[in-house]
Amino acid sequence: MSGAGSKRAVRDVNRRVMDQATRQRRARKALESLEQDNFHDDPHADLVMSKKALSLFQDHPEEERKAKRKSRTTEYYKQRFRKNFPQLLEEDAVQNPNPPNYLSAQTLNSLQPARHFCAVCGFSSKYVCVVCGTRYCSRRCQETHEETRCLKWTA
């Protein structure tokens, strides 16, 4: 056994096996992150002006329209209709409880067997990390996994 092997043995002592609930929570978080619009912060967040400019921007795009009647501000529309997705779903359960609706339109669970891929390299995987349940394909990918993502989950 090389140095890396014995190092791992030492580390294994400090390592507890991740329970099922934590594994599921981690999987759900990973899926949720695939819905994100941005992974970094607003690059203009430090600019006081830009926020103001944004809400005022283009409220009155055409002079003649403004002259004829008062156009509502974007702020009005933001307040009038703003509902996030969970709120819309909750509302739909009350207003539109009978299928077909958004919830009932979700396709069924697949009947085909799940396939397993190495989380590190993407090729077919035969092995499962005993700590966290992540898949890997080889000794090399196992080491990468343990040194990167698996470590985050050990005490």
Partner 1 sequence: MPVASVSSTFVLDNGACSLKAGYSSWSSPNVIPNSITKAKSEKRRIFIGNQIDECRDLSSLYFMLPFQKGYLTNWDYQKQIWDYMYGKQCLNVDTPSKNLVFTEPYFNFLSIQEGLSELFFEEYRFKNVFRTHPGDLTCYKNKMEHPEEPCCLVVDSGYSFTHIVPYVDGKRVRNATKRIDVGGKLLTNHLKEIISYRQLHVMDETYVMNACREDCCYVSLDFERDLTKAESRTESRDYVLPDFTNLRRGFMKSPEASNGRPEDSEQIIRMNNERFAVPEILFHPSDIGIQQMGIPETIAHVISECPEETQRWLYQNIVLTGGLAKMPGFRERILKDVRELAPNEFKVIVRLPEDPISYAWQGGAALADDPIFRELSVSKLDYQERGHQACVDKYYL
Q: Which stretches of the chain bind partner 1, using CB under 8 A?
A: 27, 30-31, 33-40, 42-44, 47, 50, 53-55, 57-59, 61-62, 71-72, 74-75, 77-78, 80-85, 88, 91-92, 95-96, 99-102, 104-112, 114-115, 117, 120-124, 148-149
**Cβ distance 102 to 92 under 8 Å?**
yes
Closest contact distance (angstroms) between CB of 23 and Zn ion is 10
Site string for Zn ion, 103-132 (x = CB under 5 A): ---------------x-xx-------x-xx
- The number of beta carbons lying within 10 Å of the beta carbon of residue 73 is 13
> Which among 17, 114, 151, 29 has a CA at the least distance from the CA of 125?
114
Closest contact distance (angstroms) between CB of 34 and partner 1 is 4
- Please report where in the chains the tokens 């993502």 appear, as a residue: 149
d(CA 5, CA 9): 6
Judged by DSSP in three states, 128 sits in: strand
> Which partner, Zn ion, partner 1, none, binds residue 134 by CB below 5 to 8 Å per kind?
Zn ion
